[in-house]
Amino acid sequence: MFSFFKGKKEMKNSKNQQGNSPTESTDKSSNNIDTSLFVNVEIIKKRTGNSSDIVIRPVKLGKFPKVKTKIVYVKGLVDNQTVNDFLIEALIDNSASQEQNSQQQVIDMIAEDVVAVGGIKKSSDWDELFTELMSGNTIIFIEGNNAALSVSTQGGERRSIQESTTNVSIRGSKEAFNESIETNIALVRRIINSPDLWIESMKIGKMTKTDVSIMYINGIAKNEIIEEVRKRLKRIEIDGVLESGFIEQLIEDQTNTTFPTIHHTERPDGVAGNLLEGRIAIFVNGTPFVLMVPALFMDFFQSVEDYYERFDISSAIRLLRTIIFFISLVGPAVYIAATTFHQEMIPTKLAVIIAAQRESVPFPAFIEALIMEITFEILREAGIRMPKAIGSTISIVGALVIGQAAIQAGIVSPVMVIVVSMTAIASFATPSYAVAISARLVRFMFMVSAATFGFYGMILAFIILVVHLSSLRSFGVPYMTPLAPFIREEAGDTIVRRQLWDYKKRPKLISGRNKVGQGEDQKPHPPGPCTMKNSDYDKGD
């Protein structure tokens, strides 16, 4: 009861001094903080619902013990060592001149001479202060001041830098992005040590206020594309951004397509390579995936490791990836068309074997393939959603048991199981998971076309697919560049990879500076044959 009346008395005194209550203060002061420390603390408690993780701690200033001061921060979002050692201890043990004894001078003294933390700024706006507070910064309130200090103390538990799980590296850096946007930006800066690497930051999400940054190299990236990225990001009005996928879906050019028009990666060297070509990176706090725009269709079949190996090896691997993609796209459809409409195209001995196996199968080839495809998709999804310890086991055992049982029951033929298995393996071998999912969906369109018109239906479906891909844009850049429109000097970095010293120009539809910054003649010039005499070898010279 005593504490209750004491609180009422303090509230009354504050009201007499300020002329209003805490609630009225926020209404009449146009969202500015109050000069009363008690009123400000009450506003924080009311706005946060008196949450248990909001720490409000009084601090006595060493040279100004009569000046009431309180710090406010959120447990788990701050670095405790920074708060304790560099903030609280600095406030308690400050040795500033006592000549600065006014309350208005104290806040400037703390900002300039006392706090030993890098980032500190003054603000009087409640929305800005709450944003800083929920971002992991510490707020310092001082009695008699209508402004507060925001001190950079962000920290808490974060996942350390680890190896990428989605973009596996055989040769090259093993570092991968994590959920901290500051760490991710720093990883790219370690690779590109140039002041021309510019970063622009903003907050997106009315509730989450997620940190989003765009990164580009000034002079290389096109100004038109940079401005388009800014415009699309600023146009977003949404309650929350939980992952970069929210941003991707809200800024892409075309939504009525299964193919991705924005590339994402988990590797810093991949982002650095794209930046050097003139692309723009979009970092989102809370996710290890960085978006790259514009994205071209051939980008999804390339890996940054292609440039670490010899050109002949990389070209062979890229060609293999292209073949793998077509297998995952039309594998079952070829089998359906050949066994249903074009038996004459199958060698005689193979046709006899397939006919003997299908003799007891009660379904046509299309229904047979549809059953196996749906069954495999169920097993694949179950393996992903199950706990890691048993997920792979269930997928392997389930595929073997169901496949063998289906063959023995006469529901499907052994050849169909082989075709579907090869198609599934090919989809796993596609470098980009987003493109692999698109192939899985488009595969059913090819199956229906093959079951309806045979190879003629497949050709028609393929033409429709090419026309669709050619109509797509990624931030205004044609999706099939440099194949459609065909750009001869850039075609050497698509299905095959030319020699590293032949890269003299950047993609002209993406980059603002077309010429690559390298010497005119970078081709290796090994020395001529050895001219030493046999006697020199004998002497050991």
Average pLDDT rounded to a whole number, residues 469-483: 92
pLDDT in tens, 253-272: 988 899 999 999 999 999 99
Is the model more confident about 468 or about 526? 468
pLDDT band at 126 (very low <50, low <70, confident <90, very high): very high
Cα–Cα dist 369/45, whole Å: 62
Most confident stretch, 10-14, 78-82, 283-287 = 283-287
Mean pLDDT of 117-138: 88
Q: What was the pLDDT predicted at 477?
A: 92
Residue 375 has pLDDT above 70, yes or no: yes
pLDDT at 25: 41
User: Pick from 262, 263, 265, 202: which is nearest to 236 by CA?
Assistant: 202
- Evaluate whether 194 touches 298 at the Cβ level (below 8 Å): no
Q: What is the mean pLDDT of residues 239-248?
A: 93
In this predicted model, what pLDDT tens digit does every residue of 163-179 receive, in sequence order? 887 888 788 888 899 99
Confidence of residue 27 (pLDDT cuts 50, 70, 90): very low
Residues whose CB is less than 8 angstroms from the CB of residue 197 and which lie 6 or more positions away in sequence, other chains included? 188, 189, 215, 216, 217, 218, 275
Q: Is the pLDDT of residue 197 over 70?
A: yes
Q: Cα(154)–Cα(81) distance, rounded to whole angstroms?
A: 11
Measured between alpha carbons, how far is 290 from 296 in angstroms, rounded to an integer? 16
pLDDT score, position 535: 56
pLDDT band at 24 (very low <50, low <70, confident <90, very high): very low
Q: Is the pTM of this model over 0.85?
A: no
* pLDDT in the model for residue 430: 82
DSSP helix/strand/coil, 372: helix
* 67, 174, 304, 306, 466 from 270: Cα distances, Å: 53, 12, 6, 11, 27
Question: Which range is least confidently modeled, 42-51, 253-262, 408-417?
Answer: 408-417
Q: Is the pLDDT of residue 20 over 50?
A: no
Average pLDDT over residues 184-198: 93
Task: Give the per-residue pLDDT at 95.
Answer: 52
Helical packing angle, 433-453 and 311-340, nearest 10°:
30
Per-residue pLDDT at 452 exceeds 60:
yes
Name the packing angle between helices 37-47 and 126-134 (round to 10°). 60
Out of 113-127, 211-225, 298-312, 438-452, least confident range: 113-127
- Nearest Cα neighbor of 276 from 332, 327, 220 is 220
* 478/159: higher pLDDT: 478
pLDDT of residue 444: 93
Does the pLDDT of residue 44 top 50, yes or no? yes
Percentage of the chain modeled with pLDDT above 90: 39
Per-residue tokens: 156: 């808490």
Least confident of 210-219, 414-423, 424-433, 523-532: 523-532
Per-residue pLDDT band for 384 (boundaries 50, 70, 90) equals confident
Q: Mean pLDDT across the chain, nearest whole number?
A: 84
pLDDT, average across residues 433-458: 92
> Are 484 and 296 spatial neighbours (Cβ–Cβ below 8 Å)?
no
Lowest mean pLDDT among 347-351, 385-389, 427-431: 385-389
Pairing of strands 69-74, 290-293: unpaired
400-411 pLDDT, tens digit each: 777 778 888 888
